[in-house]
C-alpha cells in the first residue's frame, strides 16, 4: 500500500490548528465536512453536529462504523477575578501541570479572540520562592493572564470576555525531519487525519470497500458522549483513538496499538484477534495493550447499550493528554490496518 503521507501530514497540521475544545467544534466539523465533499463522499450530520462520511461498499446491508473524534481537551472561563484575570474549568481530563505556562486563545461568545497564558497565581520565584516551586497546581490556583491592559474585572468585561467562553491551548505542532510528530491534541486529530488518508487512498486507487463504511467524526468523545446514533445496518464499530505509550504499557510510537481492554471494559476478543491476524498478514508493527485510564467512542457506546461489536486501534502516542508525540510510522501502520480491515 502506497499512501500520500504528505497529504496526511498537511491535513493533520491544518486541523490541529483549528481550535475545537469539546462543546465548540463547529469550525473543525465544517472543515472535515468540506474535505469529505471534495472527495465526492456523501456526508450526513447528526443532530449533535457530528459528521458522517458515507463510503459506499459492495455490501450495504452489513455496514461498519470507523470513528475518530475531532473534539479536544480545553477549558472554559469559570470566573473573572477582581484583578481581571480568569479562573478556568477544565474540559476533558488533563493535569493543570501539563498546561502551565502555555499560550492560549480565549474565544468569546461573539466570536472575538484574545490571547493569554496560563500561570499559577504565585508564578514568580523572585516573589514566591517556595510556593512557585512546591505548590500543587489545581483549578483553584491557576489563572489566565490576558494579553490586554486589564487590572480589574470591569476591564476584562469591556473586552467582551465572559464566564462560559471557551479556551484552547497552543498546539506547538512540529514535524521533525526523522518523522516524529509533536503536538497537543494528537488525541484524536491524528486519527481524523488517518481517516482522510484512507479515504484518499481508496479514491485514488478506485478501491471499493467490502462493506459500506460510515466514517464517523464525533465531537464529544473527551466528555464521554461522542456517538449517539448507530444505524440498524451497522454490525461492527471500530474506534480510531490514540494508543497510550509509557511505563506498564506495551505500545510504542512507531506501532499501531490494538486495545484489548480499557478501564471500562474488555473489547471483543474475536474482533481484536481478527485485527491482530490482519496486522500479522500485512507484517505491520503492532502491539496489543491494556489501557489504564482510558475510554474510547467504542467502549462508551456499548456501555450505553448499543448492540454492536466493537474494537479500538490507533497510533502509539507518548505523553498522552500532555505535549504528545507520535511517529509517522505509527500513522502509516494504523492506516494499513484500517485498509486491510475494510477491504478483506
**DSSP character for 89?**
E
C-beta separation of 1 from 281 below 8 A: no
Q: Decide: 69 and 188 in contact? Cβ < 8 Å.
A: yes
Secondary structure element (H or E) that encloses residue 338, with its range: helix 328-343
What's the CA gap between 164 and 162, in Å, rounded?
Answer: 6
Q: Which of 221, 236, 253, 324 is catalytic?
A: 221
Bridge partners (DSSP) listed for residue 318: 245, 325
Beta strands in the chain, from DSSP E residues, in sequence order: 42-45, 51-55, 59-69, 74-80, 86-91, 103-107, 113-120, 142-146, 166-169, 174-175, 180-183, 211-218, 234-240, 243-245, 256-261, 286-290, 309-318, 324-327
* Distance, CA of 257 to CA of 205 (rounded, Å): 26
Residue 57 φ/ψ, nearest 5 degrees: -115, -175
Angle ∠(82,83,85) on CA atoms, nearest 5: 100
Residue 293 CB neighbours (<10 A):
10
Rounded Cα distance, 249 and 283, in Å: 21
- Among the listed residues 336, 329, 11, the one whose alpha carbon sits nearest the alpha carbon of residue 176: 329
Question: Shortest CA distance to 284 belongs to which of 253, 254, 316?
Answer: 254
The verdict on whether omega for the bond into residue 279 sits within 30 degrees of 0, i.e. cis, is: no
- Give the span between the Cα atoms of 77 and 79, in whole angstroms: 6
Are the C-beta atoms of 137 and 64 separated by less than 8 Å?
Answer: no
Is 233 one of the catalytic residues? no
Residues labelled as active-site residues: 221
Amino acid at each position: 500500500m502506497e499512501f500520500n503521507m504528505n497529504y496526511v501530514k498537511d491535513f493533520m497540521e491544518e486541523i490541529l490548528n483549528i481550535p475545537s475544545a469539546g462543546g465548540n467544534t463547529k469550525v473543525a466539523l465544517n472543515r472535515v465536512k468540506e474535505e469529505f465533499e471534495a472527495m465526492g463522499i456523501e456526508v450526513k450530520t447528526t443532530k449533535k453536529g457530528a459528521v458522517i462520511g458515507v463510503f459506499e461498499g459492495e455490501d450495504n446491508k452489513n455496514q461498519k462504523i470507523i470513528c475518530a473524534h475531532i473534539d479536544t481537551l480545553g477549558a472554559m472561563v469559570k470566573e473573572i477575578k477582581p484583578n481581571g484575570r480568569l479562573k478556568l474549568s477544565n474540559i476533558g481530563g488533563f493535569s493543570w501541570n501539563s498546561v502551565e505556562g502555555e499560550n492560549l486563545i480565549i474565544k468569546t461568545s461573539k466570536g472575538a479572540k484574545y490571547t493569554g497564558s496560563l500561570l499559577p497565581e504565585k508564578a514568580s520565584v523572585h516573589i514566591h520562592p517556595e510556593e512557585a516551586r512546591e505548590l500543587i497546581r489545581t483549578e483553584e490556583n491557576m489563572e489566565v493572564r490576558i494579553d490586554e491592559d486589564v487590572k480589574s474585572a470591569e476591564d476584562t468585561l469591556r473586552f467582551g470576555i465572559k464566564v462560559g467562553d471557551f479556551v484552547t491551548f497552543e498546539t506547538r505542532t512540529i514535524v521533525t525531519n526523522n518523522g516524529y510528530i509533536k503536538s497537543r491534541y494528537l488525541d484524536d486529530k491524528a486519527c481524523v487525519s488517518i481517516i482522510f488518508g484512507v479515504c484518499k487512498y481508496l479514491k485514488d486507487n478506485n478501491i471499493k470497500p467490502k462493506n459500506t463504511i460510515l466514517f464517523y467524526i464525533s465531537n464529544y468523545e473527551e466528555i464521554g458522549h461522542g456517538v449517539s446514533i448507530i444505524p440498524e445496518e451497522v454490525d461492527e464499530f471500530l474506534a480510531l483513538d490514540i494508543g497510550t505509550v509509557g511505563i506498564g504499557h506495551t505500545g510504542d510510537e512507531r506501532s499501531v496499538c490494538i486495545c484489548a481492554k480499557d478501564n471500562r471494559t474488555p473489547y471483543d476478543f474475536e474482533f481484536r484477534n481478527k485485527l491482530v491476524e490482519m496486522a500479522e498478514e500485512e507484517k505491520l508493527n503492532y502491539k496489543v495493550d491494556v489501557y489504564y485510564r482510558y475510554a474510547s467512542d467504542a467502549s462508551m457506546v456499548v456501555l450505553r447499550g448499543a448492540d454492536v461489536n466493537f474494537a479500538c486501534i490507533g497510533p502509539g502516542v507518548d505523553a498522552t493528554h500532555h505535549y504528545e508525540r507520535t511517529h509517522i510510522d505509527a500513522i502509516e501502520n494504523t492506516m494499513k490496518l484500517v485498509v486491510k480491515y475494510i477491504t478483506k
